[in-house]
Amino acid sequence: MTLPRRWLDDDGASSAVRDVLRSDRSMDPPDGAEDAVWLGLAAKIAAGAAVTAASVGTAKTAAAATTTVATSTAATGTTATAVASGGLLKSILIGAFGGVIAVTGYTAIAPSSAPEPARAAAVVAPPAVKDLPVSPGSKGVSRSGDEVLAPRKDEPSVVPPSAADAPPSSGAPPSSTAASTSSAAPIDAPPASTDASGAAAPAPGSPEERASRLREESDMLNQARAALRGGDTAGTMRLLEQARQKFPGGVLGQEREALAIEALAKSGARAEASSRAAAFIQAHPNSPHAARLQVFVQK
Amino acid sequence: MPELDAFEAVYREHFRFVWRSLRRLGVPESDVADAAQDVFMVVHRRLDEFEGRSKVTTWLYGICFNVARDRKKLAHNRRRSDDDAPIDDAADERVDIAAEAERRQGMHLLESLLDALSEEQRAVFTLYELDGLGGEAIAEMLEIPIGTVHSRLRLAREAFERNLKRFHARDRFRLASAGGET
């Protein structure tokens, strides 16, 4: 038995079908995604390896891991020097997070907005430029910007489940959360200090202790990011606040603030997002996040 | 733990494959970087045991399939991906909005048509129609009989065409404000 001809190879197939199948080119990874994901991956592996290596008594794996990270960081043309000079894991993680965050959902920002960090520009380059689906115009799917956007509202009717998935929180006003966040600042909260009590617990300040705290901090931020992607801006702010309390001077402070700004903007608190983004950029002009946070700054 | 060189070789060679497979299996654009990372964390953990018992791509696709399914469960009550692209609305002054909108429009239509298929049909359909694999290769990759490949492809195609027709009928109805056929 033979399979039918592939629709894309079959001139007899309906052009509507072929047009929509061609849209799959938009499912290719955008420029820079490969390196950005690699950085995140290498950081995770390095963090794991650091713990293992320290407890087993050999630093080989960790060294190997970090070397690779440094190499590929250099390859993407970013913070090679920062990585090379002390604060290894920190730089790695920041770079990695910057990369991954930038890739996830930011493909829409034009590179022209990023004059300075080469990596940000690469990551952000819109795939649309390269692989524009030529198609749907003829099919009445899209003729002008307005019409393009209009059908989307009804589009979920094609897929029954998504109707039930309707966003619960688009109208929710978490600006109150935001306000409480910025006003209440329990800086003296000493949360994780019990770590040192256990006999087997790693000594405070030791590499393995730092690595495990890093992992915990990054887990918390990952949860916050997941909440944000899910549209739950209030939950995002709550998780970020927990992370801030637990890790007041956390290594991933920049990532935390960047996520908070994004959540604020998404929740409608544009003014606060703008002022915090401006403050962030002033404080960290060379941060991988600076370029993309620029879009939140209101002129 | 595998040597990092070996791991990176697998990563570099198959990153694109993994990314595309995840997208085709229903991981939304906004999640795919995280999902790809999940896939390769599994690869890193298990590369030593893998030992070439099957083709690498077969192994990877199996991991992608599981990761995509787990993420779908997790994301069950999340919004559609075009809504959770976080700063589209804030960033759009800098983008060629129309081109971007058109690209997303086509992609979302394709995604929703694929979402309407079962996971199993979707895998067969995308491997055949989009990745250009042959029937035997698909049977091997999904570890199913060739007859099942045929039947799943047939069912998937029927559903895909039916849903697309329905979509265009509504679309015409909306644009022309005239009665569309169903």
The CA R_g of chain B, rounded to the nearest whole Å, is 19
- Which has more confidence, B38 or A135? B38
Among A37, A149, A158, whose Cβ lies nearest the Cβ of B36? A37
Q: What is the pLDDT of residue A200?
A: 52
Q: Determine how many CB atoms are found less than 10 A away from the CB of residue B61.
A: 24
A40 interfacial to chain B (CB closer than 8 Å):
yes
Selected residue with higher pLDDT from A234 and B78: A234
Nearest to B33 among A27, A100, A270 (CB): A100
Q: Which of A158, A262, A272, A298 to mutate to test the interface with B (most CBs of B within 10 A)?
A: A158
Which residues of chain A from 105 to 164 reach within 8 Å of chain B, CB to CB?
105-110, 112-113, 126-128, 132-133, 135-137, 139-145, 147-152, 154-162
Q: What is the pLDDT of residue B106?
A: 79
Nearest CA-CA distance, residue A22 and chain B, Å: 8
Interchain CB contact of A56 with B (< 8 Å): no
Could you give the CA distance from residue B18 to residue B24 in angstroms, rounded to a whole number?
Answer: 10
A12: tokens are 């007899």
Task: Give the C-alpha distances (Å, rounded to integers) separating B148 from A118, A198, B142, B144, B153.
Answer: 49, 57, 10, 6, 8
Interface contact B160-A41, CB threshold 8 A: no
Test A22 with B106 for CB contact under 8 angstroms. Answer: yes
Residue type, A230: G
DSSP string, A151-170: GGGTGGGGSHHHHHT--S-T
Find the CB nearest A231 among B34, B79, B161: B79
Cβ within 8 Å, pair A108-B134: no
pLDDT of A109 strictly over 90: no
pLDDT at position A79 is 37
Cβ partners under 8 Å of residue B67, min gap 6: B22, B27, B35, B38, B39, B42
Predicted pLDDT at B55: 85
Name chain B contacts of A103, Cβ cutoff 8 Å: 33
DSSP state of B31: G
- Residues of B with CB below 8 A from A100's CB? 33-34, 37
Question: A107 or B51: whose pLDDT is higher?
Answer: B51
What is the predicted pLDDT for the residue at B146?
96
Q: Regarding predicted confidence, which is higher, A148 or B106? A: B106
Is it the case that residue B134 has pLDDT exceeding 50? yes
* pLDDT higher than 90, residue B87: no
Nearest residue to A127 (alpha-carbon basis) of A108, A114, A148, A104: A108
- Percent of chain B with pLDDT strictly greater than 90: 54
Instruction: Decide: B77 and B120 in contact? Cβ < 8 Å.
Output: no
Average pLDDT over residues B129-135: 93
Q: Is pLDDT of A124 > 70?
A: no
Residue A276 C-alpha, separation from nearest chain B C-alpha, in angstroms: 15
Using a CB-CB cut-off of 8 Å, the residues of chain B touching A40 are 33, 37
CA B6, distance to chain mean position in Å, is 27
**Exposed, middle or buried: residue A198 (CB in 10 Å: 0-12, 13-18, 19+)?**
exposed
pLDDT at A7: 95
Flag whether residue B178 sits within 8 Å of chain A, measured between CB atoms: no
Average pLDDT over residues B34-63: 90
| Interchain contact, A27 vs B20, CB within 8 Å | yes
Q: What is the DSSP code (8-state) at residue A3?
A: P
Nearest to A109 among B76, B91, B166 (CB): B91
Q: Is B91 on the interface with A (CB under 8 A)?
A: yes
Whether ipTM tops 0.90, in short, is no
Please indicate if any CB of chain A lies within 8 Å of the CB of B37: yes
Answer whether residue B154 shows pLDDT above 60: yes
How many Å from the N-terminal Cα to the C-terminal Cα in chain B?
Answer: 57
